[in-house]
Structure 1
Amino acid sequence: MQSRRRLPVLRREAVAATVPVIVGSLLAMAGPAVAAGPTGASGVGDPYFPLAGNGGYHVSHYGLTLGYDPGSRHLTGKAVLTARATQRLTRLDLDFKGLKITGLTVDHVKAVYKRDGQELVVTPARPLRKGQSFRVTVTYNGKPGPVTDPDGSLDGWIPTDDGAFVAGEPQGAMTWFPANNHPLDKSSYDFTITVPKGRTAVANGVLLGQSTRAGKTTFRWRQTEPMAAYLATATVGKFQVKQYTTRSGLKVYDAVDPREAAAAAPVLKKLPSVLEWESKLFGPYPYRAAGSLVDHAPNVGYALETQSRPVYDRAPDLSTLVHESAHQWFGDSVSLTSWKDIWLNEGFATYAEWLYTEQHGGDSAQKSFDALYARPATDGLWAFPPGDPGSGANIFDTPVYARGAMTLHALRTAVGDRAFFRILRAWAAQHRYGNGTTAQFERLAERESGKDLGGLFHTWLYAQGKPSTP
Structure 2
Amino acid sequence: MPLTPRRPRPRHLRAALLVAAAASVVAAALPAPVPLGIGDPLFPQLGNPGYDVLSYDIGFSYSGDNSKPMEAVTTIDAVSTDALERINLDFARGTVHGVEVNGRPARFASAEEDLVITPETPVRPGEALRITVRHTSDPNAALDGGWVRTTDGLVMANQADAAHRVFPCNDHPSDKAFFTFRVTAPEDVTVVANGVPVAGERQGTRIVSTYRSSHPMATELAQVSIGRSAVLHREGPHGLPIRDVVPAVDKDKLEPWLAKTPGHIEWMERQVGRYPFETYGVLIAGAETGFELETQTLSLFERSLFVRPEFPAWYIDSVMVHELAHHWFGDSVSPRTWSDLWLNEGHATWYEARYAEEFGKRSMEQRMRAAYALSDGWRAAGGPPAAPRAAEPGQKIGIFRPIVYDGSALVLYALREEIGTKAFERLERRWVRDHRDSTATTADFAALASRISGRGLSGFFKAWLYGEKTPAMPGHPDWHTQAPKRG
Structure 2 distance, partners of 1:187, 1:448, is 30
Using the aligned pairs only, state the percent identity: 36
Structure 2 distance, partners of 1:352, 1:101, is 43
1:273-422 mapped onto 2 (5 Å cutoff): 273-298=263-288, 300-314=289-303, 315-316=305-306, 317-360=316-359, 362-375=361-374, 378=377, 384-393=383-392, 394-422=398-426
Instruction: State the Cα distance separating 1:54 from its structure 2 match.
Output: 0.7
Q: 2:457 matched to 1:453?
A: yes
1:65-76 mapped onto 2 (5 Å cutoff): 65-71=59-65, 72-76=67-71
Instruction: State the Cα distance separating 1:371 from its structure 2 match.
Output: 2.9
Instruction: State the Cα distance separating 1:145 from its structure 2 match.
Output: 3.7
Confirm or deny: 8 A CA contact 1:40 1:92 kept in the other structure.
no
Per the alignment, residue 202 of structure 1 pairs with 192
Structure 2 distance, partners of 1:360, 1:313, is 23
Per the alignment, residue 242 of structure 1 pairs with 232
Q: 2:184 matched to 1:184?
A: no
Structure 2 distance, partners of 1:146, 1:260, is 28
Give the one of 128, 148, 152 matched to 1:158.
148
Structure 2 distance, partners of 1:225, 1:49, is 25
Confirm or deny: 8 A CA contact 2:191 2:226 kept in the other structure.
yes
Give the one of 83, 92, 98 matched to 1:88.
83
Structure 1 distance, partners of 2:458, 2:409, is 17
Per the alignment, residue 58 of structure 1 pairs with 52
Q: 2:207 matched to 1:217?
A: yes
- The residue identity in structure 1 corresponding to 2:120 is A
Instruction: State the Cα distance separating 1:372 from its structure 2 match.
Output: 2.4
- Answer with 272-281 or 405-414: which moved more: 272-281
- The residue identity in structure 2 corresponding to 1:366 is E
Per the alignment, residue 26 of structure 2 pairs with none
Per the alignment, residue 5 of structure 2 pairs with none
- The residue identity in structure 1 corresponding to 2:324 is S
Deviations along 1:389-425, whole A, 9 cap, x unmatched? 1113542011110110010011111111110011011
Confirm or deny: 8 A CA contact 1:44 1:54 kept in the other structure.
yes
Q: 2:91 matched to 1:105?
A: no
- The residue identity in structure 1 corresponding to 2:46 is A
Confirm or deny: 8 A CA contact 1:293 1:310 kept in the other structure.
yes
Structure 1 distance, partners of 2:270, 2:332, is 16
Per the alignment, residue 443 of structure 2 pairs with 439
Instruction: State the Cα distance separating 1:376 from its structure 2 match.
Output: 8.4
- The residue identity in structure 2 corresponding to 1:311 is L
Structure 2 distance, partners of 1:436, 1:454, is 17
Structure 1 distance, partners of 2:445, 2:141, is 33
| Cα distance change on mapping 1:181 and 1:246 into 2, 3 Å | same
Structure whose CA Rg is larger:
2
- The residue identity in structure 1 corresponding to 2:38 is V
- Answer with 380-389 or 443-452: which moved more: 380-389
Instruction: State the Cα distance separating 1:273 from its structure 2 match.
Output: 1.5
| Cα distance change on mapping 1:426 and 1:142 into 2, 3 Å | closer
Give the 3-state SS of the residue equivalent to 2:215 in structure 1.
Answer: strand
| Cα distance change on mapping 1:116 and 1:383 into 2, 3 Å | closer
Per the alignment, residue 216 of structure 2 pairs with 226
Any stretches of 5+ residues in structure 1 without a counterpart? 1-38, 149-153
Give the 3-state SS of the residue equivalent to 1:105 in structure 2.
Answer: strand
Any stretches of 5+ residues in structure 2 without a counterpart? 1-32, 307-315, 393-397, 474-478, 480-487
| Cα distance change on mapping 1:262 and 1:465 into 2, 3 Å | farther
- Answer with 443-452 or 113-122: which moved more: 443-452
Deviations along 1:12-61, whole A, 9 cap, x unmatched? xxxxxxxxxxxxxxxxxxxxxxxxxxx99821110111111111001101
Structure 2 distance, partners of 1:92, 1:161, is 38
Structure 1 distance, partners of 2:375, 2:448, is 32
| Cα distance change on mapping 1:105 and 1:375 into 2, 3 Å | closer
Q: 2:118 matched to 1:123?
A: yes
Deviations along 1:277-329, whole A, 9 cap, x unmatched? 2122112211111111111102x111111111111122452111101100001
| Cα distance change on mapping 1:68 and 1:177 into 2, 3 Å | same
Structure 2 distance, partners of 1:376, 1:352, is 19
| Cα distance change on mapping 1:118 and 1:444 into 2, 3 Å | same
Structure 2 distance, partners of 1:335, 1:307, is 11
Confirm or deny: 8 A CA contact 1:65 1:79 kept in the other structure.
yes
Instruction: State the Cα distance separating 1:368 from its structure 2 match.
Output: 2.0
| Root-mean-square deviation (Å) | 2.2
Give the 3-state SS of the residue equivalent to 1:349 in structure 2.
Answer: helix
- Answer with 386-395 or 221-230: which moved more: 386-395
Instruction: State the Cα distance separating 1:336 from its structure 2 match.
Output: 0.8
Deviations along 1:186-235, whole A, 9 cap, x unmatched? 10011111122222122101122334443222211011201011111112
Q: How many residues align?
A: 426
Confirm or deny: 8 A CA contact 2:35 2:113 kept in the other structure.
no
Structure 2 distance, partners of 1:413, 1:382, is 26
Q: 2:44 matched to 1:44?
A: no
Give the 3-state SS of the residue equivalent to 1:55 in structure 2.
Answer: coil
Structure 1 distance, partners of 2:142, 2:428, is 34
Structure 1 distance, partners of 2:344, 2:176, is 16
TM-score (norm 2): 0.83
Structure 1 distance, partners of 2:34, 2:76, is 16
Confirm or deny: 8 A CA contact 1:40 1:54 kept in the other structure.
no
RCO higher in structure (CA 8 A, sep ≥6): 1
| Cα distance change on mapping 1:157 and 1:457 into 2, 3 Å | same
- The residue identity in structure 1 corresponding to 2:61 is G
Confirm or deny: 8 A CA contact 1:185 1:228 kept in the other structure.
yes
Confirm or deny: 8 A CA contact 1:49 1:392 kept in the other structure.
no
TM-score (norm 1): 0.85
Deviations along 1:47-76, whole A, 9 cap, x unmatched? 111111111001101111111124252211
Instruction: State the Cα distance separating 1:358 from its structure 2 match.
Output: 2.9
Deviations along 1:249-296, whole A, 9 cap, x unmatched? 222111101455455322221111211221221122111111111111
